[in-house]
A and B are shown apart, each in its own frame.
Chain A
Amino acid sequence: MRNKKGWPGAGRLAGGAVAAVAAVLWAGTAAQAGVDVSSWHLQGYYQNDTQYRMGKDQTGNTPGLSREQNTFSLSYNKGLFGGWKLGGTFRGSYNGVYDLNDTEFGRKAGGSVIFQSSAFAAGGPAPQFTSFGESPGNTEPGNPNGILAGAFPGNALHFNYNNPSAPNYNPNQGLQLIGQRWHPTHTGGVDIAVPVRPCDVDSRGCVDFGGYGDQSVSDLRFPEFNKRLDAIRELYVTRDFQLPNGQDIFLKIGRQQVVWGRTDLFRVLDVVNPVDFSRNNIYDDLQDMRYPMAMFNAVYDIGPTKWLQDSNVQFIWNAEPFRADNLGQCGQANVMLDAGCTFRGLKNLWDNGGSVSNFAGGNIATDFGPHQIGIRNVYVPDWKLSNTTFGLKFGGTSPDGSIAFSLNYLYYLSQLPSLHGNQPAVNPFTGAPPSAYTGNRLIAFDMHYPHVRLFGGSMDYQWDWAKSAVRFEGAYTSGEEFANTLSSNLYSTNNVLRTVVGIDRPTFIPFISGASTTLISAQLFYQHIFDFQRETRPFGTAGMIDWQDNVTGTLLLQGTYLNGRFHPTIIFARDFMAQANAIVPSLIYNFTNNLVVTLGANFKTAGNINRYKVTDCRACNPYPPFTAAPGQGDEDWALSGIEPLGIFRAGPFGTARREQQVFLKVRQSFGL
């Protein structure tokens, strides 16, 4: 387990960078010094992005300001000795939302929470709604609501919610219920508390999930200034080596982005660099979201042959220590899929215990003690050769020039985590230590990032009849892991096929513009999970959570006015299985050559929220006979709710269904 901030490999990268620079200088010395040395070329911008989340979230709260990001970016390049060139980008930003709206996203966020016992109506043996740590399913003597006191001698169904001087203090402060921003709570399913304040204010549930998850207010305010040196966004040297036969080898060494594929928005092949969803969910340009990584990138440009009009081979090696996609830390404005809240809530549940709605018997709020359920360990892969990324791409153009294509292979660590369940834990019924645990499907997890092999390809061609360009992209992966309650460890490894087909058609639409075309661009993304498992059980459906087959469509319309200085744009996106939509209108206006203002919004809608209910493993029976329903064996009987796994069904639009945002972005560029 590694749960401290920072980057153990920073020194390694620094060493590599020094070696690279030394090699460059050596090459320069060997070559005729000064032949192509050029001066610095600098270009940059300052950008203010103000976003406001309108209306109320599911709790009835108005989030208000959700982003006040001030970004300074400077790109640079310079010719070095011996044909080498230096390039890169520095970026630093300050997000004022953590100061200007700290009751929502900062030091004062969150509050107290209550939990539901749907078994009890008014006047029942215990209240239907109870406070954190005072659930009916709490066996500690003195619990005002407890109905199980003394039921299981030696049990540990309680935690420290009220004694600051005792270990594992877990008060009912600075909390939310996971998912409360996007769906109703207290609806008969599971509710789990999650701390939402920055980790220097409240360290509960804070752990490094692979580059995020343990961030202080300062880390959140200044996201690039951290031990992974994100302010040095890109820094690389390049050189083109001409071969005697007219071919050439292009080298690019250093921190960089490698972009594969031909589609927009969807990352089917564009998975070489992890991305930061905490900046602005999926709504920033990918080039601003990708985490550049220290890579060795070589392209052997074969050029035309008898069989292909163009061909090249690319080899990449990502030498930088592993980094996960940043899904956002719970308490940030952008928490992709709300997953960061699920993780932090489960981590706190393991570390300190906590209340869970409707757990015991499927309808009684229960207090779990530390080290019983939740996320036990996070295994962020250490640096070793087998944990680095290797990629190979063959690119070409068909002999008649009509089709450009690529074939891709990537060996990498999944940038999304996998939760391996059934980890040994303290028995809440008997207090027996983890070493005594023998059950199955216990919701005690370790977080892993599995190795993945990707085989893929892309192509595009010009469809003259339709006056369109058509793009295809596909990838087949092995090694990805998915939640699966049919497995004793609550996950399975499945192969996955992802494809995208896109079509671009610039069209003269006279009532929009007679001088410029309106770009119509549509894409369909399809995902299929192989060896999909799902079975009907007494209370619902057990097995895998994701959709076996899913389709997401996007449609972009972009007009052009005022000689390309004004672009009204609208994007529609629909997740067909989640029945959720995003609508993103924007107006982009270039006031001057260097001043661009964008006014826009993103709205989301979703259908019936019950669609996202899936098994939550309350009925997984890890501790028979305590957890067995009459007649239940070693299996999940599939009691279901939205949390904690419905996020994988709701997807990025469904989980953001209450986030209706408007934004104003002002960018002033400059060149030096």
Chain B
Amino acid sequence: MKKRLFTCMAAAALSSMALTPVLAATYTPADVKASFDPYAQGMPSFKGLTVGMTINQSNVDQFKAVLAPVVYNVIKNGWNTITVGPTQDIKLTQGYIKATLDNLNKTSLAKDSDNLIGYVAGRPFPGEPDPKDPRAGTKIAWNFQHGLSWGDNGTIDPFVMKYIDMNTGKVQRTLQLEYHTLNLMHRVDYAPIPEFLPNPAEIFRTIYIKVRSPSDLRNTQLLIQRYDDDSKPDTSYIYLGFQRRVRRLAPGQTTDAFLGSDLMIQDFEGFNDRISAMNWKYLGTKDILYPFYAHTELKNLDPADYPGLKEGFKFTSLGGKADCFPQVTWQLRKVYVLEATPVDKSSPIGKRIIYQDAQTTKMSITGIYDRKGKLWKAWLISNSDPDHHLPSNKGSGIEIDDGFTMVDMQAMHCSIGRFQGQINPKLSPKDMFSEQYMRNTGTGN
């Protein structure tokens, strides 16, 4: 790590000498405090909006100002209603906050690329975005990329996904999966800190997914590796059960339908790609209703007992049109609005309008537009604070992804996901994130 730090510093110095200055950032500890505690001065409010009320087709226009347009659209169409919950001040992991302070102002954006220079750990740009800064959007995106989506390691198991025809309500497919993430670098909470070594390729983060059912997809496994060097494309491998082989995925498959669902690999966790895969633009800061809640406080959890659920844990229930929407409470939260436009002009996506939660940097509301500029999909991830989730997640400081819906508003089709998220390094051991692990567990080694 020291060697890499030195290399980065040296690179920064050389970069300056070559008259290609980097864009340095200057933040104070007060900025850091404000970044992690945006509600210190009080919770946001909106005229007429009260905890416990329901926003539906009839009153949605009254609250249009605090709804992301894509969410407004869903409610206006009569597809879903949302119940307002109290805004939560989420206590994030102290390791991450400490790393942010320890490495304050060490990070900057390279002038000629979207790469970070000098980044060690923590939130790279812990301050309010400057509307005058043309790269403010990129910095906000980096705060997500090096944010706390599952922290150092996370697991979703069980992970149930359904494909639903919104016109008929028919469930076309049901998949059961497991999903694991691991940060190999920039770790802040769990040993080894700050990174696993050796790691000559400098893989920063990796995701492993395994499909348990249905039978035609059983044992399909996906491994995604993202490099610390953002200019290097991700490496992805897939193990197909019927082939019993590990195959490298071609780059274009990150924007292909994932296992036939309405999701792309690029959609995972809100946004799952290199920062330099997009052109980022900061559109402003707002208070909007956001699908954050306390899982154990929800009154209408699904009573069904699914295989693999820990004792006492229940999935959130589904409702709205064709049961395409998790029935969770939404709270008024401060968000940064981003526009992300694909660099690859062959992407089926025209742009993403992303609403990033200012406190956690989660990207839980996205409007996805097609290449003609028409709203295509509503991408909504519901999140629970860790202290009101599984007992084992309590105190982890990691906002837990609890489910999702991806609504294809043009095709009238949705894919929903229901999660049991767990912050437990034992469930995401490092050897899980290798080609050989896929062969070993896929029975075709």
Which of B201, B218, B259, B411 has a CB less than 8 Å from the CB of A400?
A: B201
Contact with A along B158-196 (1 / 0, CB 8 A): 000001000000001110000000000000000000001
Q: Of B4-12, B140-148, B246-254, which binds chain A? A: B246-254
Please name all residues of chain A whose beta carbon is closer than 8 Å to the beta carbon of B196 when the two chains form the complex. Answer: 304
> Quick one: CB contact mask for B400-440 with A, threshold 8 Å, 1 for yes?
00000000100101010000000000000011001111011
Q: Which of B257, B346, B411 has the most CB of A within 10 A?
A: B257
**Within 8 Å CB of B237, what residues of A?**
404
Contacting pair A504 B440 (CB below 8 A): no
Contact A285 B443 (CB under 8 A): no
Q: A299-B436, A301-B431, A468-B250 are in contact. Are A309 and B201 (CB under 8 A)?
A: yes
Interface window among B20-28, B47-55, B209-217, B389-397: B209-217
Residues of A444-483 contacting chain B, CB below 8 A = 460-462, 464, 467-469, 471
Q: Are A304 and B443 in contact (CB under 8 A)?
A: no
Which of A108-116, A557-565, A644-652 is the interface stretch? Answer: A557-565
Of B251, B256, B257, which one neighbours A462 at CB under 8 angstroms? Answer: B251
B257:A461 contact, CB within 8 angstroms: no
Per-position 1/0 for A302-336, Cβ under 8 A of B = 01111111101010000000000000000000000
In the complex the two chains form, is A517's CB within 8 Å of B201's CB?
Answer: no
In the complex, whether A669 has a CB less than 8 A from a CB of chain B is yes
- A87 and B443 contact, Cβ closer than 8 Å, known pairs A301-B436, A506-B252: yes
Is B242's CB within 8 Å of the partner chain A? yes
Q: Does A198 contact B (CB under 8 A)?
A: no
Residues of B within 8 A of A516 (CB): 256-257, 260
Q: Is B444 an interface residue (CB 8 A)?
A: yes
Contact A515 B443 (CB under 8 A): no
Give the complex CA separation of A286 and B245 in angstroms. 11
Q: Do A256 and B247 touch (CB < 8 A)?
A: no
Q: Which residues of A contact B252 (CB under 8 A)?
A: 467, 505-508, 517
A564 near B173 with CB under 8 A, answer yes
- What's the Cα separation between A581 and B312 when bound, in Å? 60
* Docked CA distance A306–B201 (Å): 10
Q: How many residues of A contact B (CB 8 A)?
A: 69
A259-B260 CB under 8 A given contacts A462-B250, A467-B250, A517-B253: no
Determine whether the beta carbon of B247 is less than 8 Å from that of A504: yes
Within 8 Å of chain A (Cβ to Cβ): is B369?
Answer: no
- In the assembled complex, the Cα of A303 lies from the Cα of B348 at a distance in Å of 37
How many angstroms from the CA of A312 to the CA of B260 in the assembled complex?
Answer: 33
Nearest A-chain residue to B238, judged by Cβ: A469
Q: B262 on the interface (CB 8 Å rule)?
A: yes
State in angstroms the CA–CA spacing of A194 and B243 once bound together. Answer: 36
Q: Which of A234, A397, A565 contacts B443 (CB 8 A)?
A: A234
Q: Is B155 an interface residue (CB 8 A)?
A: no
Answer yes or no: A487 CB below 8 A from chain B CBs: no
| Residues on B with beta carbons closer than 8 Å to the beta carbon of A286 | 243-244
Among A163-171, A246-254, A606-614, the stretch that binds chain B is A246-254
Q: A563 to B172, Cβ gap below 8 A?
A: yes
Report the stretch among A429-437, A588-596, A621-629 that lies at the interface: A588-596
Tell whether A15 is near chain B: CB-to-CB under 8 Å. Answer: no
Q: Is A7 an interface residue (CB 8 A)?
A: no
Least CB distance, B355 to chain A, in whole angstroms: 24
Interface centre among A87, A256, A304 (most CB of B within 10 A): A304
CA distance A39 to B408 in the complex (A): 39
A contact residues around B215 at 8 Å (CB): 43, 45, 594, 669, 671
Question: Bound complex: CA of A303 vs CA of B199, how far in Å?
Answer: 10
Q: Give which listed residue, B198, B233, B244, B440, contacts A257 with CB less than 8 A.
A: B244
Q: Does B225 contact A (CB under 8 A)?
A: yes
Residues of A within 8 A of B227 (CB): 401
Q: Are B257 and A564 within 8 A (Cβ)?
A: yes
Closest beta carbon of chain B to A412's beta carbon, Å: 18
Whether A262 lies near B259 (C-beta < 8 A) is: no
Q: Are A402 and B235 in contact (CB under 8 A)?
A: yes
Binding site for A on B (CB under 8 A): 163, 172-174, 196, 198-201, 203, 213-216, 218, 225, 227, 232-233, 235, 237, 242-253, 256-257, 259-262, 346, 348, 408, 411, 413, 415, 430-431, 434-437, 439-440, 443-445
Closest 6 CB pairs of A and B: A564-B260, A401-B201, A669-B215, A399-B200, A309-B201, A469-B250
26 residue pairs of the A-B complex, CB under 8 angstroms, read: A246-B431, A250-B445, A256-B443, A257-B244, A257-B443, A258-B444, A259-B439, A259-B445, A262-B247, A286-B244, A297-B445, A299-B439, A304-B196, A309-B200, A399-B201, A404-B246, A462-B248, A467-B252, A468-B251, A514-B348, A517-B253, A563-B172, A564-B259, A565-B172, A593-B214, A671-B215
Q: Known contacts A259-B444, A400-B201, A669-B214; can you find 4 more A-B pairs with CB under 8 A? A: A262-B247, A401-B225, A469-B250, A671-B215
